[in-house]
Amino acid sequence: MDIAEKYQVCINGLTQFLHSTRTTDVVLGLSGGIDSSLVACMCVEVLGPEHVHGYMLPGPYSTDHSLIDAQLLANNLGLNTEIISIVGAYDAFAAELAAHCNGFGGLAAENTQARCRMVMLMALSNAHGWMLINTGNKSEACMGYSTLYGDTAGAYAPIGGLYKTDVFAASRYVNARAEQAGLTPPIPEHVLVKPPSAELAPGQVDEATLGSYAELDRLLIDHVEHGMGIPELVMAGYDADEVQRVVKRVASYEFKRNLEPPFPKVAY
C-alpha cells in the first residue's frame, strides 16, 4: 500500500467508527506534535471543523513552540481551540504523593502529567457529549511508549495502525494534497521537522529512548507484521543487541496494547 491508500484506510476506519457510535462531535488534545496534528486533520476531514474540539493542555515542561504549532494547526483547519493548563492539577498530585514516592520524580511524575491531561479531556467528553479520540501510533504501542490511563485513553485511535514513519509520510501527503487544491497546508512545517517529544521532562526526545524511528520501524514491521523471529532478524542484517531489545520490549508490553482503543488495520 502506498501512503495515500494507508491514509484512506485510516479515514475509512474513523468514519465507520463514528457512524456506528452515532458520534457527531469529538475532542482531542493538541500537543503541537505530529500525531495529534495528523489526527486533527483526519477528524476535520470526516466531521468538519465545527464538530472537532481541540484543547491545548500545557504542563510544567511544555515548550512555547508546541503551543504555537498547535494554534497554527488549529487556525489552518478552522478549529476553535482553548488552553487548559495541567500545572495546577499536576502540582496538587505532586504535593500529595511526594512523601509516598521518594520525592515524586522520574516515571511516576512523567506519567502523572499524561494522566492529568486525560482527566481534563474525559471531563470535557462527559460534560459535552463529545467522543475522545486517541492520538497514539503503532510504533509507540509496540514499544509500550505510552502511559496507561493517560495517552492510551480514547474511544478510537485513527492512526493506531500506522508506524511513526508513516505518520510523517501521511502528514506530508495531507499537506501536499492541500497545496494541490490551492489551500494552505494544515500541518505547520515546524511540526514535520522538529524531533518528536512527549515533553514530560526537560529536553526529552522520543528517539533518545526508542532509537531512530526509521530503523525501529523497519525492525518492527519485519517482526510484528511479517512474523520474523530473533534468528531471522539477525540473519536479515539487524544488530543482534537491538533485535533482542526490541523483541523483548514488544513482548513485555502486550498487556498494555490489550488495553488500548481499537484502530484501523493497515496492511504492511
Q: Residue 74's pLDDT is what?
A: 98
Instruction: Quote the pTM value.
Output: 0.96
Domain enclosing residue 169, as ranges: 3-206+253-258
C-beta atoms surrounding 23 within 10 Å: 19
Element (H, E) at 217: helix 213-220
Length of the chain (residues): 268
pLDDT tens-place string over residues 87-125: 999 999 999 999 999 889 999 999 999 999 999 999 999
Q: Please give the Cα distance from 46 to 175 (Å, whole number).
A: 16
Average pLDDT for runs of 10 along the chain of length 268? 97 98 98 97 98 97 93 97 97 95 92 97 98 98 96 97 98 98 96 91 88 96 97 97 98 96 97
Q: Please give the Cα distance from 98 to 117 (Å, whole number).
A: 20
HSE-CB at 118 with a 13 A cutoff on CA atoms is 18
Side-by-side strand order, sheet with 81-83: 81-83, 52-56, 26-29, 131-132
- Residue at 223 is within a domain: no
- Residue at 92 is within a domain: yes
Q: Residue 202's pLDDT is what?
A: 86
Q: Residue 199's pLDDT is what?
A: 81
| Amino acid at residue number 25 | D
Count structural domains, the chain. 1
Q: Please give the Cα distance from 153 to 30 (Å, whole number).
A: 14
Q: Residue 198's pLDDT is what?
A: 87
- Residue at 265 is within a domain: no
- Residue at 233 is within a domain: no
For 138, the grid coordinates are 503503532
- Residue at 264 is within a domain: no
- For the chain, the farthest-separated pair of C-alpha atoms sits apart, in whole angstroms, at 57
What CATH number does the domain containing 17 carry? 3.40.50.620
- Residue at 13 is within a domain: yes
Strands 26-29 and 131-132: parallel
Helices and strands, counts by H and E, the chain: 13, 4
- Residue at 214 is within a domain: no
pLDDT tens-place string over residues 154-170: 999 999 999 999 999 99
- Residue at 232 is within a domain: no
